Amino acid sequence: MRKPIIAGNWKMNKTPEETAALITALTPMVSDVSCEVVVCVPFVDLYAAVRTARGTSICVGAQNMHFEASGAYTGEISAAMLKAAGATHVIIGHSERRQYFAETDAAVNKKTLAAVTAGLVPIVCVGETREQREAGHTDALVACQTKIALTGLLPAQVPGIVIAYEPVWAIGTGLTASDEQANETIGVIRKAIAEAFGQDVAAQTRIQYGGSMNPKNAYGLMRQPEIDGGLIGGASLSADDFAKVVHFETAP
């Protein structure tokens, strides 16, 4: 059985003080859940998040990292730095990083390998634009992105990684793939993992849906057999809303 994982991506939101307040409010709401709960915060909030979440059921992640261990990379953060700061997870290859900061599939692969080497759990994002979906390229694109991201990993390492399917057209737009669309595409991603590493590895690997999951649609999405969790954007900025997604077993 794959343990569900609900991760919040706060993007460029929250000060350290606001971070501590949100996690403090969230803690009792998610103390008894069976899924893994992660909040991925801006770099400046890591200290406050780790300190506030210590001893709770909430894990803390970052939203990006560099693939080099150290060097003249002004403004960047290494995997070892994140690990030392107390982070356990890191988002890699989010569509906004690809779109606004020109991250390539090759860079995503390097970051994934560096995160695994450092002992972090990478949440690796893949997904298509509306134009690519309408042109019928979704399956080929997400399969290719997935295989490139995982290149160089040993089969035993792959189940420790989380893949987040995030249709670009559904991020921050209020749009969402239907339950069936999301399940079908995540099935394509799982098939790509099976082709590269074997069916047993694919069956153990967790794949999230990351396109505007919220308290209203989480129940339906999480009932799909291929969907193992959610990468939550806007709804993760409210303790009440995020907790409702974490308690996805309850129908809205």
pLDDT of residue 69: 97
Domain membership of residue 247 (yes or no) is no
**Dist. CA 145–CA 189, nearest whole Å:** 9
Domain membership of residue 248 (yes or no) is no
pTM above 0.85, yes or no: yes
pLDDT of residue 198: 98
Domain membership of residue 243 (yes or no) is no
**Dist. CA 141–CA 143, nearest whole Å:** 5
Domain membership of residue 229 (yes or no) is yes
Please name the amino acid found at residue 26: L
DSSP string, 15-53: -HHHHHHHHHHHGGGSTT-SSEEEEE--GGGHHHHHHHH
What residues are labeled active site?
A: 94, 166
Domain membership of residue 250 (yes or no) is no
Domain membership of residue 245 (yes or no) is no
Which residue intervals of the chain are DSSP H helices?
16-26, 46-53, 79-85, 95-101, 105-118, 130-134, 138-150, 179-197, 199-204, 218-222, 239-246
Pairing state between β 121-126 and 89-92 = parallel
Reported as a single tens digit per residue, the pLDDT across 167-200 is 988 777 777 789 999 999 999 999 999 999 999 9
Kindly state the average pLDDT of the residues 51-58. Answer: 97
**pLDDT, mean over the chain:** 95
**Dist. CA 227–CA 133, nearest whole Å:** 19
**Dist. CA 187–CA 168, nearest whole Å:** 18
Domain membership of residue 48 (yes or no) is yes
For the record, the structure tokens of 114 come out as 């560096």
Domain membership of residue 95 (yes or no) is yes
Reported as a single tens digit per residue, the pLDDT across 229-250 is 999 999 999 999 999 999 998 8
Q: Is 135 helix (H, G, I), strand (E, B) or coil?
A: coil
Reported confidence tier of residue 48, pLDDT bands at 50, 70, 90: very high
Q: Is 122 helix (H, G, I), strand (E, B) or coil?
A: strand
CATH code, domain with 178? 3.20.20.70
Instruction: Look up the domain containing 73 and give its range.
Output: 5-238
Reported as a single tens digit per residue, the pLDDT across 71-122 is 999 999 999 999 999 999 999 999 999 999 999 999 999 999 999 999 999 9
Distances (CA, A) of 48 to 19, 39, 69, 120, 190: 7, 12, 24, 19, 36
Report how many domains make up the chain: 1
